[in-house]
Amino acid sequence: MNTKLFTPGPSGNAVLITRVADGQWHALDDDLVIGRGHTHHRSDGRMFVSVDAWHDAAFDRLAEAMSAALPRPLYTVVDEADMAVTDSWRRAGFTIRRREWEYVVPTDPGITGLEAPPLPKGVTIVPGGEVDERALREVDRAIRAEVEATVGWQSMPAEVIDHPKGDTIVDPSKYAVAATPERCLGLIRVVRVKRPRVGLVAVRAGEQRRGIGRALLAHALGTLHRSGCGAAWTEVHESNRAATALFEGMGAQPVSSNLELVLR
């Protein structure tokens, strides 16, 4: 357990910062917990930090202690509309790395215009729960390697689901794929927690611009529509003009934005 004393908090007492466990810090004011800090290792190897504090002094001291104790770079994600939290991280030295727009996507094919788009000859959509796991993992690894060799996987929307190291498929039932009899050409992941979220749509580099991604979206959104879900959610990097044009062309509406901040 590591402990540090910092400048006075709301009560006039010094704020006590204590590392209570691996990746967990508490801010104490006269033995009262007035803030907590946490770390989280993402699947791409990056370390993200978060702070939940009742007062600016506690936030600043937690951010300072965590930044001093942890290897850099450090990352955090904030709702852009929450200006107070954004300002707090910027006081700690974090800068904006990228912005992701959150979209609400209609599922009704009458709105999206995705009613049974044609697929290339020999390509079929295999629904979630029916996908061969070995083929799914193979196409996932291949697409990740292609992305990493070009723009880098860190340019993709941040993934928040924990999984064993080296295994990026957490639940194969969440995936549908476009496949030929020989191999999978692309995949889509839809996760339902509080609301359905399209987490990933990807097609092998050599198979792009053939309508496969559009067909995968049509399948996923159509399945949600038939189950009674009127909308899904997704995130798009602000620089991804192709994805922005695709979703907005389907009637998707931006509803919020997230900022990814970094301390180098």
Which DSSP state fits 73?
A: P
Handedness of CA 221, 203, 145, 132 (dihedral sign): positive
- Percent of all residues in the chain with a pLDDT value above 90, rounded to a whole number: 68
Secondary structure (DSSP) of 126-169: EPTTSS-HHHHHHHHHHHHHHHHHTT-GGGSPPP-----TT---
The predicted-structure confidence for 160-205, as pLDDT tens digits, reads as follows 444 555 567 778 999 999 999 999 999 999 998 788 999 889 999 9
Residue 133 clears pLDDT 80, i.e. is over it: yes
What is the reported pLDDT for 211?
Answer: 92
Mean pLDDT (whole number) for 134-143 = 92
What is the reported pLDDT for 30?
Answer: 82
Query: What is d(CA 18, CA 190) in angstroms, rounded to the nearest whole number?
Result: 39
Domains in the chain, please, with CATH?
Answer: 2-99 (3.40.630), 102-257 (3.40.630.30)
Secondary structure (DSSP) of 195-227: SEEEEEEEE-GGG-SSSHHHHHHHHHHHHHHHT
In this structure, of 28-32, 72-76, 107-111, 165-169, the range with the lowest mean pLDDT score is 165-169
What is the reported pLDDT for 163?
Answer: 52
Which DSSP state fits 60?
A: H
Q: Who wins on pLDDT, 203 or 239? A: 203
Query: What is d(CA 61, CA 4) in angstroms, rounded to the nearest whole number?
Result: 9
Mean pLDDT (whole number) for 80-99 = 95
- Residue 142 tokens read as 């291949």
What is the reported pLDDT for 12?
Answer: 54
The predicted-structure confidence for 96-110, as pLDDT tens digits, reads as follows 999 999 999 999 999
Would you call 234 helix, strand, or coil by DSSP? Answer: strand
